[in-house]
């Protein structure tokens, strides 16, 4: 039984049921609020990320953790006896490490595609091992920054709408209005699932995270949603 697929199905059912109950006019306000929140989050996330890096040691902690995690048992390298800032592995060995690493496919693909001098310069590193740490750390900080910013912005905007009593002032229309409400509810569900996938990505190295990814891989629908996750694509884009 794919419990994650069931959970995603419940999210879609609830959102579409709410869309039907509220109708298009009311649910489109919720959808517009969500889009406005995402736009504001996209603008604010880089600043949140800088604050997290400046005020916490999370980036350094992630770098140290991911370097050891990236070296699988099948690769004959003892990094404990070699200063990390002196490591410069052959290209073939680098690709072997990346291919065998127990990490999400999108992350593996990103590490392979960006393993070049331009990315090294952008991340401020000079060797492969530092590149791994800096790249993964950058993505994790971005995801955390996005989630924190999205939560704060959503609460703020929803509070304003609630205070102004905008939703209850809108009319309710039956018929096609409710059908359109179902469609918009489905779009809201997609966005919520995409955001949930960000959290799952952060938990990848845990047992529950690995189980979630197993569920995703075993479902064509979940795999499709994960691969088409534009929020994850934006957050993980190297820039």
Domain definitions of the chain by residue range: 3-236
Residues 141-164, buried b or exposed e (16+ Cβ, 10 A)? Answer: bbbbbbbbbbeebbeeeeeeeeee
Helix (H) or strand (E) holding 63: helix 58-70
CA pair distance 211, 12, nearest whole angstrom: 21
Give the pLDDT score at 20.
85
Return per-residue pLDDT of the chain as tens, 239 residues: 899 999 999 999 999 998 888 777 777 877 888 888 889 998 998 899 889 888 888 878 877 777 666 655 544 555 444 454 555 677 888 888 888 877 888 888 888 888 888 888 888 888 888 888 888 888 889 999 999 999 999 888 888 777 766 555 555 555 677 788 888 899 999 999 999 999 999 888 889 999 999 999 999 999 999 999 999 888 877 65
Give the pLDDT score at 164.
62
Give the pLDDT score at 218.
92
Two structure tokens written together for 102: 């127990």
Give the pLDDT score at 220.
94
CA pair distance 239, 234, nearest whole angstrom: 10
Vertex 155 angle, CA 51 and 58, to 5° = 25
Give the pLDDT score at 208.
92
Q: Report in angstroms the alpha-carbon separations of 173 from 26, 166, 180, 185, 186.
A: 10, 16, 11, 16, 19
Report DSSP state, residue 181: H
Give the pLDDT score at 178.
77
Give the pLDDT score at 162.
73
């Amino acid at each position: 039984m794919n419990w994650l697929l069931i959970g995603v199905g419940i999210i879609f059912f609830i959102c579409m049921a709410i869309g039907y109950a509220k109708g298009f006019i009311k649910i489109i306000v919720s959808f517009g609020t969500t889009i406005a929140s995402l736009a504001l989050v996209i603008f604010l996330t880089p600043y949140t990320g800088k604050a997290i890096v400046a005020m916490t040691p999370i980036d350094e902690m992630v770098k140290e953790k991911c370097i050891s995690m990236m070296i699988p048992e099948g690769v004959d390298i003892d990094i404990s006896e070699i200063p990390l800032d002196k490591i410069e592995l052959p290209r073939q060995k680098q690709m072997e490490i990346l291919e065998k690493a127990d990490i999400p496919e999108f992350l593996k693909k990103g590490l392979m595609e960006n393993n070049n001098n331009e990315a090294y310069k952008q991340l401020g590193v000079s060797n492969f091992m530092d590149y791994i740490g800096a790249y993964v750390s950058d993505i994790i900080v971005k995801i955390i920054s996005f989630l924190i910013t999205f939560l704060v912005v959503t609460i703020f905007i929803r509070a304003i709408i609630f205070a102004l009593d905008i939703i209850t002032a809108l009319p309710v229309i039956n018929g096609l209005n409710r059908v359109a409400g179902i469609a918009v509810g489905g779009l809201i569900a997609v966005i919520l699932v995409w955001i949930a996938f960000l959290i799952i990505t952060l938990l990848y190295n845990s047992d529950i995270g690995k189980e979630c990814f197993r569920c995703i891989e075993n479902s064509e629908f979940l795999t499709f949603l994960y691969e088409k996750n534009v929020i994850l694509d934006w957050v993980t884009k190297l820039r």
